[in-house]
Every structure is written in structure tokens, then in C-alpha cells.
Amino acid sequence: MSRLKQTQAWLALTQHYEQIKHLHMRDLFEEDQQRFARFSLHHNDILYDYSKNCITDETVDLLLKLAHQAELPSWIERLFSGDKINHTENRAVLHTALRDRSDTPIVLDGVDIAPEIKAERAKVTSLAEKIRRREWRGVSGQPITDVVNIGIGGSNLGPLMVNEALRPYSLHDLNVHFVSNIDENHINETLEYLDPKTTFFIIASKSFTTQDTMLNAETARQWYLSLIGSDEQIGRHFSAVTSNTKLAMEFGIAGENIFKMWDWVGGRYSLWSAIGLSTMIAIGAEQFDELLEGAYELDMHFRKSPLEQNIPVMMALLGIWYNNFFEVQATAVLPYDQYLHRFAAYMQQVDMESNGKYIDRSGDEVDYTTGPVLFGEIGISGQHAFFQLLHQGTKLVPADILAPLFSYRCIARHHRALMSNVFAQTEALMRGKTEPEARQELQDKGLSDDAIEKLLPYKVFPGNRPTSTFLFDTLTPRTLGSLIAMYEHKVFVQGVIWNINSFDQWGVELGKQLATTISDELNDDEQVGTHDCSTNGLINYYKQRRSFKRKQK
Ligand code: G6Q
């Protein structure tokens, strides 16, 4: 049995689960009017209410003990101080250094990396501001109207989510597009209405070898060359963000337009780096700074607060409580803010790529479950789709609800309606609807006794479905920075307790490797026989159909 499962805290939690699994939150709330006050935390304008979870004071105590037994405080220090905690890649994990505002040296391998981070930021800022101020001119002397970020995974999801979230802060006469899919329709649809003379590309790829990105970058270059007629001034239209300067230069990007990524920043944690160039172009350096500031403030909260007052720690512990003791498989992230419509997709990567691991830090297979399936959608849309399962399904899905208290624009009736859904849903998920309540409702509608008996079972809601609610004033860059950092650290804490490395991604690497091999096999019409019969069958069917179509033309 793993060490984790033998810790006192784990054993105590296992026992405690048996004692409280039949408690209903409705009763816990009725018994304790202070529950909200006790089980909620604040950070700046963010209120985190975790009172609608299946917990008691004892649960929290035991979960905190579990965190201490995992030596969480010392792991937090190891993270911030640049210890090489990504042991399978022998790398430090220092995305927090990218938003550090403290002016204290951040030493890695004996070198203070803070000056280099600052210098790179200055370079990015200079380019972004020139484009924003229309000083950066393209091949025909016209300013840039469209920026296209070509990248995938960590080089796409973060900046895309942030750009969408901060639309109200963006320039309106400068469009930022994101191309990630290797499916040609993505780049074709994007380029169709653009003018190469006023388009600026960012090739965002840490490795500069990812097939999807490199193919799209090549197609973008061909598009430019075919419409401009030569490679004249191509340097005015292409930039790269990468740790592979050599390959970027070979691609033809001018040295001054290549921005650095460091190996101590994982792709999914990279939006704070030059990968955020598209964001900086959209919202400007000042607002980008606010984003960093928000994340830094949260970093300080995470680093300095006692565990019981620490929001990411409490988020992580609740996740572990459900994951490992209730044996819950999934969790939902549900923003009630249209601008956060890519938030769940981004968090899906941060969480699932980080903690979707079955081997622990000692190289052994774990005997407990790790990262959950994370999914999500704009809350209101989810209500009209999958909330049915949240309310009455056979699976327990704890959910995070995020909502702004104030809207950017002032159509009060919209915002009031939005917020009433937030409150109503969390209450309904917690309380449910009892049989007497459901019966009363049907009687009030004037249904016959017979009809009521038939319908009643379907109208009962068990409740006791956990939600955690995050309320914040308005989605400013600063608040967004804090929210993202909150989730990053939650994932880290869970990784520490599960004793896994949250910062490698061998599963992603495998995909890259496999696709490259098969891609070579698709170059001709020869039948293949090197795979299992299903894969051979699929490949050969594709080849046959392709050759048939070709002959038809
Ligand atoms: C992120 C992952 C992965 C990566 C993409 C793109 O943490 O490593 O999502 O970001 O595969 O990789 P490149 O940036 O190297 O193209």
C-alpha cells in the first residue's frame, strides 16, 4: 500500500467519510447559521464560498492534517524558490517568477533570472506597443490591423482564454485571431478575409517542432508569399515565441522578432511569458501588468497564508475529499460570465494535463485516483444542457461557480437575472427538493392524486450536490490574474498530496511522436500492415478512398 494511504490523516479521513456520508447539507445549514461565515474566504475582491460542500469542521481539520503530512508548506517554498521539482525533466517550475513584483533575486542554478525576465518583457512590450500605436508598419507602409497567433495547447489555450476574457480592455480596431487546429479549415477560414499587408503572425511554440503549429506557420508563410509576390519585408509580418531560437531563425524569422521561452515554464503555465504577446497587443502593456499583478498578489496569498485561510489549498483539499473519499470522477467549472467562455477549456488543460498521472514521484503506480475529469461551460448554457445530470444524475459532480457582481455595461435587468440563476442553482443543488415539497408543488398545480403519485418520483431532487462559489466585483485583468493563479496553485497542491509530478506531460509527447510516424506512412498509396488490424484497416480505408477520389477528378 502507498505511503499516502497509510498516513494517519488518510486513515482518519476514510473513517470520517463513513461517519458523514449520510449527512445532508440541508441539515448542516439548518443546524449552523454561521456556516457561510466559517466556510468562506476572501482575497481582494474575490469571495470564495465553500460552505455548500459536504464537510464539517472535522473534515476540514483532517484535510489540513493531510496537507501537513504531505509537507505542503515546504513544497510551496520549493516551488517558489526554483527547486527542480519537475524531476522527470530535471527542471524548475517558475511561472511565478514571470509575475514576481518583489525585486528580490530569483536564483536558478546560481544565476538571478529576474533581470532576464525583465529584459524579455521590455522587448515584448516594445513590439506590442508599436503595433498598438500603429507605428509598426508592414510591407506597404500600412499599420497592422490583424494579429494571428499560431500555436496549440499551452501556446494557444491560455492567451486565447485571456484575450476573450479581457475583450472590454482590448483595442477595437485591432483583431487578434488564434489558429491551432492542423485541420486546414482553421487557418483557411482565418486568413480568408485578411490582408497580408496588414497582418502580423506570432508563431507560438516552445519547441518549434510541433507538427500542427509548424504546418500552420508554413501555410501562413506561403499565403503571405503568394499574395505579396516575394518575401520582401516578411520580417515585418512574422514573429516567434520559442525556446528554440535556432529553428525559428531557420524558418526565416528575424532575430529581433524572436521572443524567449524558458524551459522552467511549462506550456500550460506560459500565458504570463512572451506567449502572452497577443494579449499584450490586445490590451496593452499597462493592463498586462495588472494581470501579472493580480497573479502575484495571489501568489503571495498562497505563499504566506496559513493553510486553513489559503484559498488554493482549500480548493485542492475539497477536490481530494471528493476524488479520493467520495470516489467522484468528475468536476465542473461553470463561469456565469460570458467573457469567461474559454475558461473551462483552459482549466481543463491546466488540471488534466498536470494531474492526469498514474505514476508517483518514486516511479511507482499509485493505488488511489488522481486528477478528475474536468469539464465546463458557461453556467447559463450548462443549465439548459447538462445540469440535469448535476441535479438528478447518478454521479456526483462537484462544481465551481464563478460570477461577477457587476457587469461592464449597465443593463441591470440582465445582470440581475444572471445572478438570480447563480444563487438559485447553488441553493437548489445543495437543498434539492424533498418529496413533500414536490407533492405540494404538484397539488398547487391542481393535479389529480393519481397523476401526482405517478409524477412524484421524477420531481424529487436529492440535493446534497456540492458547489463552491467565487464572486468578484468585475472581471478586471487583475482579478483574472488572481483567478488563474488560484487554479494553478490548486492543481499544484493536489499534485503534492497525490505525490505526482504535475509539471511533465508525457502523454502529450506521445501524441506528437505517434502522429509524426503515421504521417510518413500517409505519403503514398501503399497499403500498410505495421499496426494492429483496426489501425491498418482505418489507414488503408483512408488511402483507398483518397486514391479513388483522386482518380475521379
Ligand atoms: C503544455 C503542453 C502542451 C504544449 C503544446 C504545444 O503544457 O506541453 O500543451 O503547450 O503541445 O507545444 P509547443 O509550444 O512546443 O508547440
**Ligand 1 within 6 A of 488 CB?**
no
> What are the C-alpha distances in Å from 232 to residues 191, 237, 359, 523?
19, 10, 51, 32
pTM over 0.85: yes
- 384 catalytic per annotation: yes
**Distance (Å) from CA 267 to ligand 1 centroid:** 5
**Distance (Å) from CA 153 to ligand 1 centroid:** 5
**Ligand 1 within 6 A of 495 CB?**
no
Look at ligand 1, atom 13, and give the residue with the nearest C-alpha.
205
**CA–CA separation, 552 vs 117, rounded Å?**
57
505 CA closest ligand 1 atom index: 8
- 353 catalytic per annotation: yes
Amino acid at 512: K
**Distance (Å) from CA 163 to ligand 1 centroid:** 19
**Distance (Å) from CA 114 to ligand 1 centroid:** 24
- 341 catalytic per annotation: no
Percentages (nearest 5) of helix, strand, coil residues in the chain: 55, 10, 30
Active-site pick, 384, 549, 551, 553: 384
Kindly give the residue spans of alpha helices, DSSP state H, lying in 133-237. 157-165, 184-191, 211-228
Amino acid at 373: V
Active-site pick, 130, 512, 531, 543: 512
**Ligand 1 within 6 A of 267 CB?**
yes
Active-site pick, 120, 164, 290, 353: 353
**CA–CA separation, 131 vs 137, rounded Å?**
8
The edge-to-edge listing of strands for the beta sheet with 40-43 is 40-43, 46-49, 467-472, 399-404, 330-335, 373-376
Q: Is 53 helix (H, G, I), strand (E, B) or coil?
A: coil
Look at ligand 1, atom 5, and give the residue with the nearest C-alpha.
153
**Ligand 1 within 6 A of 159 CB?**
no
**Distance (Å) from CA 292 to ligand 1 centroid:** 21
Look at ligand 1, atom 16, and give the residue with the nearest C-alpha.
205
Look at ligand 1, atom 9, and give the residue with the nearest C-alpha.
153
247 burial level (CB within 10 Å; 0-12, 13-18, 19+) = middle
For every residue of 278-310, DSSP letters joined together read HHHHHHHHHHHHHHHHHHHHHHHHHHHS-GGG-
266 CA closest ligand 1 atom index: 7
**Ligand 1 within 6 A of 354 CB?**
no
For residue 257, which of 233, 287, 231 has the smallest C-alpha distance? 233
- pLDDT tens for the chain, 553 residues: list them: 999 999 999 999 999 999 999 999 999 999 999 999 999 999 999 999 999 999 999 999 999 999 999 999 999 999 999 999 999 999 999 999 999 999 899 999 999 999 999 999 999 999 999 999 999 999 999 999 999 999 999 999 999 999 999 999 999 899 999 999 999 999 999 999 999 999 999 999 999 999 999 999 999 999 999 999 988 889 999 999 999 999 999 999 999 999 999 999 999 999 999 999 999 999 999 999 999 999 999 999 999 999 999 999 999 999 999 999 999 999 999 999 999 999 999 999 999 999 999 999 999 999 999 999 999 999 999 999 999 999 999 999 999 999 999 988 766 889 999 999 999 999 999 999 999 999 999 999 999 999 999 999 999 999 999 999 999 999 999 999 999 999 999 999 999 999 999 999 999 989 888 888 898 899 999 999 999 999 999 999 999 999 999 988 8
